[in-house]
Structure 1
Amino acid sequence: MTTQDHGARPGEALIRALPKVVLHDHLDGGLRPQTVLELADAAGHELPASDSESLAAWFRDAADSGSLVRYIETFRHTIAVMQTADNLARVAREAVLDLAADGVVYAEQRWAPEQHLAGGLSLGETVEAVQAGIDDGIAAAAAEGHIIRVGQLVGAMRQADRWQEIADLAVAYRDRGVVGFDIAGPEDGFLPSRHLGIWRFLAEHDVPVTIHAGEAAGLDSIGQAVHLGQADRLGHGARIIDDIAFVTGGEHDAADLGRLAHWVRDHQIPLELCPVSNLQTGVAESIAAHPITRLKELDFAVTLNTDNRLMSRTSMTHEMKLLVDEAGWTIDDLVDVTVTAAWGAFMHHDERRDLVDQVVMPGFQKVEGALV
């Protein structure tokens, strides 16, 4: 069913009850405001606000500038309080609990270990601290009746040129919590061609790859991600819409796909789209006009994600509700993007099938029953 159909449109309570899969959620972008306050106080780090509500508003307003560069600047405060093993574990634990409480049943937490060494930790120690927090969070969520599975996506900062170190880290911890590799940070000037050997190395060691592309930069960043970087998924990828010509008029609208758009769709490369965040960084002007709906209608492999829950003051429930309220999405549209995300998860095929057949679909069927 597409958004053109008159399917059931669930309210917020039912949306919250839906099983959710999030592939693009930054660990350092999802802290609780109160946690930032407490950790900053202990570390002697000065913040722009002194209470949790004011701090939450500051993060949102600072990120809500239409500039990816300014958006990224907000991370200076969250990263500053994530420099010890205990703090990393706490942040990871709370992220798992918050996602589980929102109905998320599978999540990949992406972060850049190289940004968390100021307190003397090694790269390996940062990964181990985050994994300890994830494990604690999964156990605590289970005690509260929420079953969730979470993997780490370790990322290299494009401008720092430590790509090989982080690729080595991904390989070393491939069977100890790390599910894949990412590059993040400024897209312009730091394309996958900067370190060509990385991608062959990761492929030879069977490490899945997602690459931030098509958010701040255009089609060239997407082309390099899928052709040079051999990306299994695209972090955002929203600007693939620029390779599609829409022709209106006559009985039906038409879409003329360029070669790159065809390639991405033909290979069903999942797009990790993040509507609220994309509005903040200038990718779209409104939820209704966000490319996610048109791309979904054209059968691209669209997934729905949060990106940075703190900076965007968002959640999977919030993202879904906005699409229902402002873009006319139905529960069937939410099923589509959730199942697509589950099949795009960085885990084995049989595990994906179990996630879809035993968790996602039964959860949606239960909610659909409540709509009848």
Structure 2
Amino acid sequence: MSDNLVADWIRRAPKAVLHDHLDGGLRPATIIELARERGYRGLPTEDPAELAVWFRDAANSGSLERYLETFAHTCAVMQTRDALFRVAAECAEDLAEDGVVYAEVRYAPEQHLEAGLTLDEVVEAVNAGFREGERRAGGRITVRALLTGMRHTDRSKEIAELTVEHRDAGVAGFDIAGGEIGNPPARHLAAFQYLKQHNCHFTIHAGEAVGAESIHEAVQVCGAERIGHGVRITDDIVVHEDGTARLGHLASYIRDNRIALEVCPTSNLQTGAAKDYDSHPIDLLRRLHFRVTLNTDNRLVSGTTMSQEFQHMVDAFGYGPEVFEEFTVAAVEAAFLPLPERRRLIDEVVRPGYRSLA
């Protein structure tokens, strides 16, 4: 198949993303305009193309901590209702333009309070922006929010309460994010217990900068339904010279209980969780029948889109549409949506969309 034909079916393929950060996916031109409006002078450049390159270069450090520093600039310009509304609407538009039919986009409300907004006002502004973006996209995409608590602060219980309060208005669930080292998930156990008591969904960043013990704590101590990244589950897998593999008890538990891994290949390369695309563990995990989903993490910071992530997997492993249909169906099955909505997306959008590629 020619490169042009591959690029065409990738563009047209229905996609679902479960791990995409709102503050990591802004349009460079939007950052510059919002910075001018707010009087923020910290940007390294005011040229949109140069700014996009700066973010990618800053992220290509091999360090999760250095990678996270880039968000100081995006969060700085996301401090008013209008700015949050605009960023959220453009996010939905951009994802839809890339063929994404379902997205869960996460952000930390506590990082958007500098101009006087309340936590509720932040959530309301973002939800309104997502609805506007869905409208502009002509209904081609459904977007839900995940509210994120930061690992290094003490507001996770408060954000969990906020999640429950807004879950019938576009918020699908909860997450914790930020530097893993020194900030284990169990530090936020009160938040996870509150969510479970209120029958509310949550995922946890784990197994990126810290090994399988982080995943164990997220699942067995905290009760995570999905794992953000999770690629270090390979620490509990032994691959023999003949290609066969032996799974440890944790890896077997994750696989057998269909706990979804929100895998973000390009981001993993940038933070040092993987060496290159060709050796990325996503292929091993797929062959071992883990519930693997493919994600962007941060479209601006990682310089990627879902279509580009598809292309990287085609180049590295020769995947065709049937494999990406697997990834997409797995993502929708693991989505924090009611079962009838998941079934509708799979039966009426995803399956027919992939059949049309044949």
Q: Give TM-score, length-normalised by structure 2.
A: 0.98
Q: Does 1:38 align with 2:33?
A: yes
Q: Does 1:221 align with 2:214?
A: yes
Which residue is equivalent to 1:178? 171
Q: Does 1:91 align with 2:87?
A: yes
Q: Equivalent pairs: percent with the same residue?
A: 54
Q: What amino acid does structure 1 have at the position aligned with 2:75?
A: I
Measure, in 2, the Cα distance between the counterparts of 1:314 and 1:141.
20
Measure, in 2, the Cα distance between the counterparts of 1:335 and 1:195.
35
Q: 1:44-83: per-residue Cα shift (whole Å, max 9, x none)? A: 1121012000000000000010000000000000000000
The answer to whether the 8 A contact 1:10-1:330 is kept is no
Q: 1:223-268: per-residue Cα shift (whole Å, max 9, x none)? A: 011111211100000000111000013xxx2101011101100111
Where in structure 2 are there 5+ consecutive unaligned residues?
none
Which residue is equivalent to 2:194? 201
- Corresponding residue SS for 2:82: helix
| Deviation >4 Å, runs of 4+ | none
Match of 1:52 among 43, 48, 54: 48
The answer to whether the 8 A contact 1:83-1:116 is kept is yes
Q: Does 1:79 align with 2:72?
A: no
Number of residue pairs the alignment of both structures matches: 356
Which residue is equivalent to 1:280? 270
Question: How far did residue 115 of structure 1 move?
Answer: 0.3
Measure, in 1, the Cα distance between the counterparts of 2:214 and 2:116.
34
Question: How far did residue 10 of structure 1 move?
Answer: 5.7
Q: What amino acid does structure 2 have at the position aligned with 1:30?
A: G
Which residue is equivalent to 2:21? 26
33-42 or 10-19, which deviates more = 10-19
- Corresponding residue SS for 1:181: strand
Match of 1:307 among 291, 297, 302: 297
Which residue is equivalent to 1:322? 312
Question: How far did residue 302 of structure 1 move?
Answer: 0.2
Question: How far did residue 350 of structure 1 move?
Answer: 1.2
Correspondence 1:162-177 to 2 at 5 A: 162-177=155-170
Q: Give TM-score, length-normalised by structure 1.
A: 0.94
- Corresponding residue SS for 1:310: coil
The answer to whether the 8 A contact 1:21-1:106 is kept is yes
Correspondence 1:355-366 to 2 at 5 A: 355-366=345-356
Question: How far did residue 348 of structure 1 move?
Answer: 0.8
Question: How far did residue 162 of structure 1 move?
Answer: 0.5
Which residue is equivalent to 1:3? none
CA root-mean-square deviation: 1.4
- Corresponding residue SS for 1:361: helix
Q: What amino acid does structure 2 have at the position aligned with 1:207?
A: C
Q: 1:304-344: per-residue Cα shift (whole Å, max 9, x none)? A: 00000001110000000110012221211111111100101
Q: What amino acid does structure 2 have at the position aligned with 1:356?
A: I
Where in structure 1 are there 5+ consecutive unaligned residues?
1-5
Question: How far did residue 196 of structure 1 move?
Answer: 2.2
- Corresponding residue SS for 1:211: strand
Question: How far did residue 200 of structure 1 move?
Answer: 1.8
